[in-house]
Copies of this chain bind each other. A is one copy, B any other.
Amino acid sequence: MESQCTFLFSEGSIDDRMLLGNKGAGLAEMSQLGLPVPPGFIVSTDACKVYQREGRLPEAVWQEVRERVRYLEVVTGRRFGGPDPLLVSVRSGAAISMPGMMDTVLNLGLNRKTVEGLAQATSDRRFAFDCHRRFIQMFATVVLQEEGDAFEAMIAQSMAAHGVSQDTELDEAALASLIEAFEAHLGERGRRVPDQPEEQLLLAIEAVFRSWDNPRAHAYREIHQVPEDLGTAVVVQSMVFGNRGQGSATGVLFTRNPNTGEKAVYGEYLQGAQGEDVVSGVRTPRPISQMQEDFPTAYRDLVRSAAILENHFRAMQEMEFTVEQGEFHILQTRNGKHSVLAGVRMAYDMVQEGLIAKREAVMRIDPESVSHLLHPRLDPGASVTVVALGLPASPGAVSGAVVFNAEEAEERGRAGEAIILVRPETNPDDIRGIYYARGVLTTRGGTTSHAAVVARGLGKPAITGCEALRIDLEAEALVGAGVTVRKNDRMTIDGSTGRVILGEAPTIASSLPDALGSILDWADDYKRLGVKANADTPTDAQQALDLGADGIGLCRTEHMFMGPERLPVMRRMIIAETEAERKEHLAQLEEMQEEDFYRIVGIMHDRTVTIRLLDPPMHEFLPKVPDIERSLAQAREAGDDESMQELTRTLHRAEALREFNPMLGLRGVRLAVLYPEIYEMQARAIFRATGRLIREGINARVQIMIPLVGMVSELDAMEQLIRSVHQAVEAELATAIPYQFGTMIEIPRAAVIAGALAERSEFFSFGTNDLTQTIYGFSRDDAEGKFLSAYQEQTLLTANPFMRVDEEGVGALIHMGVERGRKVRPAIELGVCGEHAGDPASVHFFHRADLDYVSCSPFRVPVARLAAAQAALQDRHGSSIE
């Protein structure tokens, strides 16, 4: 058996996919279930590997194949080359389905002699010639590698000559001369189809093996990450004929609706046709329900087979079948592809039907795909004109009129118009424009650029860094990729994929389907990781709750200062020349902050809210220097002395705050070392808001988190500062206000000194975005725009480390932080906040790294819940849960 390279259907099962291919293993399984599978055998993937190595099929394998053919002759009562000739199909079938990627030859065994035998045996000369025409065409293109166009042209010529519009209408004579024409064409090119059926078979098997290496198969494997060394099996099966007149047919059936998941068979069929006719789309197939009328017996058998297969495989099946003169045959079954929505619904239904366990339903949903259900998205059925691809900065699809100016976007958006704001990049002055636009497109900047961050914060679709397009601000046009989009032209952006689309593409709204809600609830029972959300506003907080977040793991305070009424106050605070002046503006901001915290913490009730104190560099709040200079010139012209004075101060401050590397500058805790009054203000607002809630009987739970800490001394200073504010507010409100104090671990040094930090910190939140930037020494904005894609193309990187956490590097820092932190403070709470927290593969890593929770954007909470559950289940059952 060791050297056995061919297998009858009775000799294998679905578990032999690696050896027999998915198709062969499915046929074996079905055959053993007693389903009507035409007899056949499989040449294994081992044979393929030998073929690839040696360049020819070894004699021993060929002898096996010949013996199998003898067996087919016996069971069918027909002979290869005989008067009632045995005809076979030769089909590819890899362990992992690669639909349409490799080759197939049908009707093999025909030649000038056997075609006559077939005609006699079936009493249907036209049918026999149709089979012969098909065979020559397929053999020529697949085995002899001839161009297919010439054959299609000859068919078209023949149809035109005979005044018919479909090849089924070509009569016996027409087909006979088409065969002559085919053979003549081949002859002219010095090629011929061999007469000997065995020679045909050998060449066809080798051709299928070779097709593993064709360019489209390579491309498919690269995209779908199918290993290159699997090889394909070959299925040799006695033919059944869907093309034997109108009493025959061929079709495809899904056991459930692959778009909606509805439990009802779904599919289509074509009368008088063979498989490739369905695929080629030359004729329009009929919906499967029609079969009930056309082929009542076969339909009954089909539906019964579908039920058997679904029950057996406990998954929706996609079946290929043929009806030959009313009799039903199955040619293939596999787990069917379906939409995300359908997958969710089916998993839920199957649990209800008792077909699968809850944990299996949880394991079946691709977490990543779930996010597509939550944002408005492009109608997948619509055809669209994609003009460029930018960075997918904030998910969702949206259409509107293009506007190049934030003020105009604000004005028109406020009036209710759908606007897409298009800018080279955005700055805090554009906040109102972004707020009132439906979506944002920038030609520069990465997925953490200002536009991206603000858009995500506002839940608006955005594309950033679309460098293929150039903005001509003077002409108010977006130019590049061969098109010009002018102001007011309609455009659609798909922030989930980065596609920039001309005109208004149809979108579909999303909401959490009920079935998904149930599956997520089941997931929560399995997961060990908590899933919190990043939320900066009451709206975000409510959404986080609705999507099942266990709390808010990151409440960023900077966006609170970006609002239209707050930015001017913030700016006055920044340009203040004395501490007293600064404190005056801070007092104004404090009232607003207190209200923010009161509402957010109130919504979350007894779930923890982790508030990160001010983090970004101050210049992010100021207009850009050239903009100030322009305003200054205007004020000078208008003789507006007061404005001039403030603008001059703003200019000096902006110049003083200018940084060489803003990412590595005056931000995070460093701000508080220089201006402690800012954190004091924030801490006071937090404690006052919390105190008020506690007095109202709410068990409010807040954590205060210090960003960018790299030294123990920084954390010490902040702990003192926060503690003293806390004492003052507790005294003022005469209320005990519990809180926890902790730090981000977002620069490598923090991981190194995590032990000492844990002495002062009740929790750590790993900031994997900044850790990635600092451990690699590349900023996201620069790397994504300039070289990460080249790294991925040259396979120096297999994944974008900003999307999937770098386990080797950043992971090592996390392990270090976890180990050193827990050693000093075993009860320390350990989480991760940032985009990686919403990436399923990264969530698996965070589970294995033994963190307590992940915190991601609200829309990705369901993704993370699923991924966390799957990680826990895999942990329990090993990686082969299915």
Spell out A's residues near B (CB within 8 Å): 445, 659-666, 670, 673-674, 708, 710-711, 713-714, 717, 746-749, 752-753, 770, 773-779, 781-783, 786-787, 790-791, 794-797, 806, 808-809, 812-813
Contacts and interface: CB of A to CB of B under 8 A. Distances in A.
Contact of A778 (B665, B674, B782, B796): B665
A777 B809 contact: no
B796 A711 contact: yes
Contacts of A797: 711, 713
Nearest to A669: B796
B674 A773 contact: no
B752 A713 contact: no
A331 to B, nearest CB: 44
Given A661-B662, A663-B660, A663-B661, A749 B778 contact: no
Contacts of A812: 752
Nearest to A657: B786
A231 B56 CA distance: 94
A670 B794 CA distance: 12
B660 A662 contact: yes
Nearest to A676: B794
A775 B786 CA distance: 23
A779 B713 contact: no
A160 to B, nearest CB: 49
Contacts of A796: 673, 711, 713-714, 717
A553 B238 CA distance: 74
B777 A775 contact: no
Nearest to A782: B665
Given A786-B665, A790-B673, A775 B748 contact: yes
A791 B664 contact: no
Nearest to A710: B776
A747 B813 CA distance: 13
A664 B777 contact: yes
A664 B661 contact: yes
A795 B712 CA distance: 12
Nearest to A770: B777
A782 B673 contact: no
A727 to B, nearest CB: 22
Q: Which of A773, A774, A777, A795 has the most CB of B within 10 A?
A: A777
Contacts of A673: 787, 790-791, 794, 796
Given A662-B660, A673-B796, A795-B713, A746 B777 contact: yes
A691 B779 CA distance: 40
A300 to B, nearest CB: 58
A812 to B, nearest CB: 5
The listed residue with most B CB atoms (<10 A of its CB), out of A670, A787, A808, is A670
B776 A747 contact: yes
Nearest to A811: B752
A787 B670 CA distance: 7
A372 B240 CA distance: 97
A812 B756 CA distance: 14
Which among A660, A666, A791 has the highest number of chain B CB atoms within 10 Å? A660
A790 B674 contact: yes
A809 B710 contact: yes
Contacts of A776: 710, 747, 749
19 contacts: A659-B782, A660-B662, A661-B782, A663-B777, A664-B664, A664-B778, A664-B779, A664-B783, A665-B778, A665-B783, A666-B782, A666-B786, A666-B787, A674-B787, A710-B775, A717-B794, A746-B777, A752-B808, A774-B775
Contacts of A665: 778-779, 782-783, 786
A567 B663 CA distance: 30
Contacts of A809: 710, 748-749, 752-753
Give the residue among A748, A770, A783 with the most B Cβ atoms within 10 A: A748
A800 to B, nearest CB: 13
Contacts of A747: 775-777
Contacts of A773: 664
A21 B795 CA distance: 69
A781 to B, nearest CB: 4
A752 B665 CA distance: 25
Query: Max chain B CB contacts within 10 Å: which of A674, A711, A795?
Result: A711
Nearest to A714: B796
A484 to B, nearest CB: 19
A66 to B, nearest CB: 48
A783 B708 CA distance: 14
A-B residue pairs, 6 tightest by C-beta:
A747-B777, A664-B779, A665-B782, A661-B779, A749-B809, A713-B796
A779 B666 CA distance: 10
Given A713-B797, A794-B673, A664 B782 contact: yes
A660 B782 contact: yes
A237 to B, nearest CB: 45
Nearest to A747: B777
Contacts of A770: 777
A600 B674 CA distance: 47
Contacts of A445: 660
A714 to B, nearest CB: 6
A559 B269 CA distance: 73
A219 B777 CA distance: 40
Contacts of A664: 661, 663-664, 773, 777-779, 782-783
A116 B249 CA distance: 142
Given A713-B797, A796-B714, A809-B749, A661 B775 contact: no
A821 to B, nearest CB: 15
Q: Name which of A774, A790, A797, A806 has the most chain B CB atoms within 10 A of its CB.
A: A774
A7 to B, nearest CB: 41
Contacts of A791: 673
Contacts of A752: 775, 808-809, 812-813
Contacts of A717: 794, 796
A312 to B, nearest CB: 45
A774 B809 CA distance: 14
A629 B753 CA distance: 48
Nearest to A809: B749
Contacts of A713: 795-797
A664 B711 CA distance: 22
A813 B752 CA distance: 9
A430 B445 CA distance: 30
A797 B808 CA distance: 31
Given A659-B779, A710-B777, A752-B809, 8 more contacts: A661-B782, A665-B782, A666-B782, A666-B787, A748-B748, A748-B777, A749-B776, A752-B775
